Amino acid sequence: MKSKIAEALKLKYQPVALKWANEKPIKAQQFKEGKWGCVMWLLAATAKGKTAVFDRDTYGCWGGGVGLGFGNQYLKFPGGLDCFYYFLSTGNAQWERGKETARQLEKFVTRDFMEDFLNGEGYLQSPELVEKFVNAMPIMDVPAKYVIFQPLSKVKPADGDTEIIVFLASPDQLAALVILANYSRQTNDNVIIPYAAGCQTIGIFPYKEARSENPRAVVGLTDISARKYISRQLDRDLLSFAVPWKMFQEMEENVAGSFLERRTWKALMAEKKSLPPA
């Protein structure tokens, strides 16, 4: 299907549809079982026209398994949940179990992973805060074998199996999406920016919103690890904007007659075209 939003915003990359299914698409890109990978790599590939698929053995990394909706895959992190709590915060070099786990891992992981495992990623102040972060996360187990990423152009609305639509937007385009998300609502808080991994802000957080009475959009790619991983695949100024299917349909219907057809937006787009290359 074509998107009125994508056309009005003049998006460079295709919107990506997330689906749940029990059958795997033909010729879909997929990580090898047990191999590390970033879910956002395959989001980028899908935004360029490919189809990707994940299952409970091919989600790339522990956070990716959580983000896609394959349950609490942090339980499988080396050393268990406690080592993950230290990994995301202050590091495992400061306690005996963490150091012993690091010794066991040394021959099997990259130097970068070992550095982060020992010294911590520093994304939260303490292991205790990471534990609260994980406990508050909307972890779920999707009722299907596969999670599929598909370009919106390949989606048939009548199929009725699309969960989430993800836009990759520049700052100007993100501003427009935020306005459009609030355009016909009774409140002005219909977009959220939770702290989470890049894959989680296109997966479990929008999944949760999709099951609420008034679903909200979720801004993501504020995860600097994910930004680093996809820096060679996409433009550097992009953020993700994930919309539950019901809300996407609402926003599509609101394009006509909105600010997207008015002077200010058109002037901003014209101004962007006239700027010299960076």
Average per-residue pLDDT in the chain?
95
Whether residue 275 is predicted with pLDDT greater than 60 in this model: the reply is: no
pTM: 0.94
Give me the torsion for CA of 222, 227, 230, 232, rounded to 10°. 130
Q: Are residues 78 and 178 in the same domain?
A: no
| Nearest alpha carbon to residue 255 among 3, 5, 1 | 5
Distances (CA, A) of 156 to 3, 11, 12, 54: 12, 20, 21, 21
pLDDT tens for 6-27 read 999 999 999 999 999 999 999 9
Q: Are 182 and 54 in contact (CB under 8 A)?
A: no
Which whole number is the average pLDDT over 248-252? 97
Asked whether residue 159 falls in the same domain as residue 96, the answer is no
**Parallel, antiparallel or unpaired: strands 217-220 and 239-244:** antiparallel
In a domain, 271, yes or no: no
Position 220 in a domain: yes
Residues 119 and 229 in one domain: no
The answer to whether position 60 is within a domain reads: no
Domain count, the chain: 2
Q: How many CB atoms lie within 10 A of CB 108?
A: 9
What is the per-residue pLDDT across 132-156, written as a single tens digit (0 to 9) for each?
999 999 999 999 999 999 999 999 8
Kindly state whether residues 17 and 87 are assigned to the same domain: no
The boundaries of the domain holding residue 89 are 73-136
Q: Is residue 269 part of a domain?
A: no
Q: Is the pLDDT of residue 278 over 50?
A: no
Q: Classify residue 63: in a domain, yes or no.
A: no
- Do 172 and 128 have their domain in common? no
114 and 167 co-located in one domain? no
Considering only CA atoms, give the Rg of the chain.
20
Question: Is 176 contained in some domain?
Answer: yes
> What pLDDT is attached to residue 274?
56
Average pLDDT over residues 26-48: 95
Whether residues 129 and 156 fall in one domain: no
On whether both 106 and 164 belong to a single domain, the answer is no
Q: Given a cut of 90, is residue 113 above it in pLDDT?
A: yes
Q: Are residue 175 and residue 253 in the same domain, yes or no? A: yes
Backbone CA torsion sign across 228, 234, 236, 239: negative
Please report whether residue 142 resides in a domain.
no
Q: Is residue 62 part of a domain?
A: no
Residues 159 and 46 in one domain: yes
The reply to whether 129 and 194 lie within a common domain is: no
